[in-house]
Structure 1
Amino acid sequence: MSIEGELLGFDGETYRINTVLGELTLNASMVRCDGAACPVTTPAISEFRIAGSPTLGKDLVPGLLRAYGSNKIDTFGSVSRSAGQAGAVGYEVISASGEMIAAVDIGASNTTDGLTDLLRGDAAIALASRPARNREARAFEEAGLGDIRSTQNEHIVALDGLLLVTSPDNPVRAITEQNAALAFAGRISNWAELGGPDAPINIYVRDTNSGIREVFDNLLMRPNGLQISNNVVLVQDDQVLSQVVAIDPYGLGFTNFADGEGAKALAIEGVCGLQTPPNAFTIKTEEYPLTRLLYMYTTDQRLPVHADGMLDFAMSEDAQDLISNAGFINQAIREASIDSQGLRVASAVVANRDFSTFPQLQEMMQQLISSDRLSTTFRFETGSSNLDARAQDDIVRLARLLSTDAFRNKEAVFVGFTDSVGDPELNRQLSERRAQQVVQQLLDENPNLQANVALQAIGYGEISPLGCNETNTGRRINRRVEVWVRDVVARN
């Protein structure tokens, strides 16, 4: 396409043009300027810093930078690594002719420091292994940098699962979050207290400066009012920790989903007896209680051209395989057959002790028995009817997927569920309204979607819990809208 108008200015990275549509600002790397008023330009060099969680900074961001260059920069040649400033690692993006395109420093510290650097203007992007806290968000607003928790500034790039791991020779298969915290605190010291052999529990943990240690404390220890015991073995690497635990029949440790190879990951058992195994699907759906989202944060300040380009690439479908190869769980939508959902079916039966709900449970299974579940699971902000940040991104992702030929003449069923707080019938009505809301937002995103796929919204309230309603985490997991897909079948 072409845009004509009066050139108002050029700052080396963007053109400002007065057009019949008003004043437009255009990324110089994405357009060619033709006309007598066009400035003589040389490719702008983007210099910026990325700081924060080493979980993302070590492997994912350098890979994203290389893939962005090779996929999105026509003149791309290579990426070289060097020592950056203040202990950061420097990366230089070089064109095929040897000219500098971008100079990027990646400082791997922790989430808190990364957000502080972003606030001070010392970083263009902050890497975070947790969401920004209320006080941190207030600091950005007070500094005039905008709402960093808005969809424009809070970017979920990947998911990860915190695994509790032991040896494959250990007979224990599941553990409660509370018992795990007690074991790491030294309050439970024998496997017999966890249903295992009469043997001491050997605890292996990462050092206090590691990102995963901070996540473990936030997810497991602090909610239980406990601290990790001093009587533990410190390990300097996640992969090494898994290897050490795997050969110790009495070992117990924690690691990232990507680094659990060799060791046996324990299922998480809720206080009500429901168990959730850690796998890519339960992490994508956020049903596994120790799931965590990984973020890139920006502010309302304009990003350097290639910082903006790399961030856009990270959120695109083109980046999803790269995210998986870096060891994280990507956000690509996956399908699971009803056969693989056997645990959730059993859980629904066990959880419904009121026989009056069985007709509704039977109806639900009749609806889903010939369907496949998509990993996309919509959740809402706490105490609000607004979709949370990840769900808003998933609306765009799902609308794009359902409009493809693979789903032509199929039916997508949106099934709402709630926790068990309140009146069961009111909960059922609420779950149906939430499912209808998701359908409407999909149609707002793509008004022609129903020409390709049939859409149906159903609500089943509290009858199919995936977490224990006795806990805040369990209630959050249970408040959801699932997406199921099936072939259209003629019914009498």
Structure 2
Amino acid sequence: MKSSPPAITAGLLALLWTAFQPAFADNVRLQSLDGLMSVEGELISVDGDELVVATVVGTVRFPQAKVECFGAACPPPPEAEDTAPQDEPQADVPRGDVAISGSDILIERMLPDVLDHFSRTRAGSSLSRGGDDQAGWRYTMTNEAGAVISLAAISGGARQGIEDLISGRADIALVSRPMTETEAGRLLDGGLTAVRAAGLESVLATDGLVIVTDSSVGISSIRLGDIARVFAGKITNWEALGGPNLPITVFARESGSGTRDALNAAIMQPYDEDISQRVIGVDSDRGIADAVLAFPGSIGVTSFYATAGARALELEEPCGLFAAPEPFAMQTGRYPLTRHLYAYTRPDAATDGLAAELIRYLQSQEGQEALSEMGYIGHRITREGLENQRVRLAEAVATPPQEALLEPLREMVETLIAAERISPTFRPYSENGGDVLAKADARRLAEEIAAGRFDGRELLFVGFTDEFAAAPEDGLVRAQADALAVVAQVRGAGPDFEGRNVALRAVGYGGLSPLACSGTPIGKDINRRVEVWSRPLAESQ
């Protein structure tokens, strides 16, 4: 059966559009070339080979070569289909004492709350806001003496935020993906290594790509490879995934957004797939969830912070492990599609002035506490209940390892069964912000120890590797070495805590407790780690 491009139920789509759209002078009707889809809406612009139409779920893009356009505002039909990727237009960044540009999830959602908290840390300051999502926002901070500081912000996506930073149009880029090596080299000679050494990169919080559907699809989990094939247009019906005989409508962020870049990097590229031209582009992460809720049989990928009631699917791995998009799983890196939210500053704004003050606040204990209070997954140290960890230990016992590892397995269970897992998890070898996160977590943990929050306890630094080595002892040795290195990093990262009544101990258990399928690219990234556990000192005697 031939599916409609994009695979939307024509009657539902037409009904929604015509019911909610007022009579604009630039209204058009778009019809797919096979006649199975008809859409009415306000034509906002023609961007390259795409028609940009206002909808009840936000701005939606339709490939001009895939539809016929009817109405006075329609552009001339294209001579031929052009599949070359189009760059997003760049909006001017409004200027203030500090200019900020970047991803919508940070500029439109996080930044207003952050600035409200930040203004309260500056004695007697009050904050006001004006503007909109098209021209940008202007924040005014006024202190008791009447001194005024202005901050300007615009959300144009991660790519534009970084470009604005490089060009000098912005002092800070708040983005949902890390800089590429090429982008970093344009900002500072020496690329990412130099950017990080200069302190221009900060990891503010943790997020995750979440696969969302509506309740009509009847499935609760999906494999990464199947996600790639759905977004590539190779799986077009839910029946192929164990669901009903229902066409799949696919929504994704528009080109230039950090969420789309992350979708490409984390899902499409590892499976050698490209996002299909039939995927419908939406202009915000929240708009993805709204679209999924509006159209039965649809799927989208969005931010953890923008699921808005849509059904979030668990990720199923080939070896039978499952990962749910939950805060602790993202904070510890257990969730395979974990990503981080970054701040980048220009070299001339990194050490002095309001931009540097704002970044220091966000990295501080106070700033991280504020982010957690706002509902973000910050880097404040949290704990997971013993019950969840006991389930994990029971799973390790249920899969007996090689004989040479039976004694280490017994020791691991005895050591950890009464301990409490805390959130710092070190993956300095990970390409997903590993080294930057490791340094920040080591400093934060050292500060907590120095403040006495772990007095009377033993902190266990527990190393794991990805897979069982040919000689099992090799994995144990490597895991122990990783754990010892993290202990040394924590001791040297912050204030001196030698006088505190706390013990630090490194242990290694090789591949005894995998969190992801061993031997896969994601497995190697997730499984090689150093966890931190806490237990009373008496338990270690």
Q: TM-score, normalised by structure 2?
A: 0.74
In the alignment, does 2:103 pair up with 1:53? yes
Residue in structure 2 matching 1:93, options 141, 162, 166: 141
Q: CA deviation at 1:395?
A: 0.8
8 Å CA contact retained: 1:145, 1:300:
no
Counterpart of 1:257? 304
Question: Are residues 395 and 196 of structure 1, via their aligned partners in 2, closer, same or farther at CA, if it must alter by over 3 Å?
Answer: same
Counterpart of 1:24? none
8 Å CA contact retained: 2:515, 2:523:
yes
Q: Which amino acid in 1 is paired with 2:445? A: L
8 Å CA contact retained: 1:257, 1:328:
no
In the alignment, does 2:236 pair up with 1:196? no
Q: CA deviation at 1:314?
A: 0.9
Unaligned runs of 5+ in 2: 1-94
Question: Matches of 1:267 and 1:174 in 2, distance apart?
Answer: 4
Counterpart of 1:481? 530
- What is the 5 A alignment of 1:152-171? 152-168=199-215, 170-171=217-218
8 Å CA contact retained: 1:78, 1:95:
no
8 Å CA contact retained: 1:403, 1:452:
no
Q: CA deviation at 1:353?
A: 5.0
For 1:464, what is the secondary structure of its paired residue? coil
Q: CA deviation at 1:475?
A: 0.4
Question: Matches of 1:344 and 1:151 in 2, distance apart?
Answer: 40
Question: Are residues 299 and 228 of structure 1, via their aligned partners in 2, closer, same or farther at CA, if it must alter by over 3 Å?
Answer: same
8 Å CA contact retained: 2:207, 2:339:
yes
Counterpart of 1:365? 413
Question: Matches of 2:191 and 2:390 in 1, distance apart?
Answer: 50
Q: Deviations over 1:112-141 (max 9, x none)?
A: 332232223322212221122122223333
Unaligned runs of 5+ in 1: 1-44
Q: CA deviation at 1:371?
A: 0.9
Q: Deviations over 1:267-286 (max 9, x none)?
A: 11223222111100000001
For 2:299, what is the secondary structure of its paired residue? strand
Q: Deviations over 1:319-339 (max 9, x none)?
A: 234424555311111101231
Counterpart of 1:460? 509
8 Å CA contact retained: 2:160, 2:256:
no
In the alignment, does 2:500 pair up with 1:451? yes
Q: CA deviation at 1:428?
A: 1.1
Counterpart of 1:379? 427
Question: Matches of 2:216 and 2:404 in 1, distance apart?
Answer: 43
Counterpart of 1:440? 488
Counterpart of 1:218? 265
Question: Matches of 1:382 and 1:330 in 2, distance apart?
Answer: 19
CA RMSD of aligned residues (A): 3.0
> Identity of counterpart residues, as a percentage?
33
8 Å CA contact retained: 2:102, 2:173:
yes
Q: Deviations over 1:145-175 (max 9, x none)?
A: 9821237221000111111122345442221
Question: Matches of 1:489 and 1:89 in 2, distance apart?
Answer: 55
Question: Matches of 1:134 and 1:403 in 2, distance apart?
Answer: 36
Is 395-404 or 362-371 further displaced after alignment?
395-404
Q: Which amino acid in 1 is paired with 2:522? A: T
Question: Matches of 2:192 and 2:237 in 1, distance apart?
Answer: 51
Question: Matches of 2:331 and 2:411 in 1, distance apart?
Answer: 26
- What is the 5 A alignment of 1:394-405? 394-405=441-452
For 1:407, what is the secondary structure of its paired residue? coil
Q: Deviations over 1:160-202 (max 9, x none)?
A: 1111122345442221111111112221223232233343333
Question: Are residues 243 and 395 of structure 1, via their aligned partners in 2, closer, same or farther at CA, if it must alter by over 3 Å?
Answer: same
In the alignment, does 2:97 pair up with 1:74? no
Q: CA deviation at 1:289?
A: 0.7
Question: Matches of 1:474 and 1:211 in 2, distance apart?
Answer: 23
Q: Which amino acid in 1 is paired with 2:221? A: A
8 Å CA contact retained: 2:159, 2:258:
no
Question: Matches of 2:427 and 2:190 in 1, distance apart?
Answer: 30
Counterpart of 1:13? none
Q: Which amino acid in 2 is paired with 1:63? A: D
Question: Matches of 1:238 and 1:118 in 2, distance apart?
Answer: 22
Q: CA deviation at 1:300?
A: 3.3
In the alignment, does 2:157 pair up with 1:107? no
Counterpart of 1:411? 458
Question: Matches of 1:145 and 1:358 in 2, distance apart?
Answer: 43
Question: Are residues 466 and 151 of structure 1, via their aligned partners in 2, closer, same or farther at CA, if it must alter by over 3 Å?
Answer: farther
- What is the 5 A alignment of 1:17-28? none
8 Å CA contact retained: 1:140, 1:146:
no
Question: Matches of 2:120 and 2:262 in 1, distance apart?
Answer: 33
In the alignment, does 2:196 pair up with 1:149? yes
Q: Which amino acid in 2 is paired with 1:292? A: R
Q: Deviations over 1:5-37 (max 9, x none)?
A: xxxxxxxxxxxxxxxxxxxxxxxxxxxxxxxxx
Is 386-395 or 284-293 further displaced after alignment?
386-395
Q: CA deviation at 1:446?
A: 3.9
Question: Are residues 434 and 201 of structure 1, via their aligned partners in 2, closer, same or farther at CA, if it must alter by over 3 Å?
Answer: same
Question: Matches of 2:330 and 2:512 in 1, distance apart?
Answer: 22
Q: CA deviation at 1:421?
A: 6.9
8 Å CA contact retained: 2:452, 2:500:
no
Question: Matches of 1:94 and 1:326 in 2, distance apart?
Answer: 23
Q: CA deviation at 1:351?
A: 5.9
8 Å CA contact retained: 1:371, 1:485:
yes
In the alignment, does 2:319 pair up with 1:269? no
For 1:164, what is the secondary structure of its paired residue? strand
Counterpart of 2:354? 306
Question: Are residues 119 and 233 of structure 1, via their aligned partners in 2, closer, same or farther at CA, if it must alter by over 3 Å?
Answer: closer
Q: TM-score, normalised by structure 1?
A: 0.81
Counterpart of 1:10? none
Question: Are residues 51 and 490 of structure 1, via their aligned partners in 2, closer, same or farther at CA, if it must alter by over 3 Å?
Answer: closer
For 2:194, what is the secondary structure of its paired residue? coil
Q: CA deviation at 1:342?
A: 4.9
In the alignment, does 2:345 pair up with 1:295? no
For 2:264, what is the secondary structure of its paired residue? helix
Q: CA deviation at 1:245?
A: 3.2
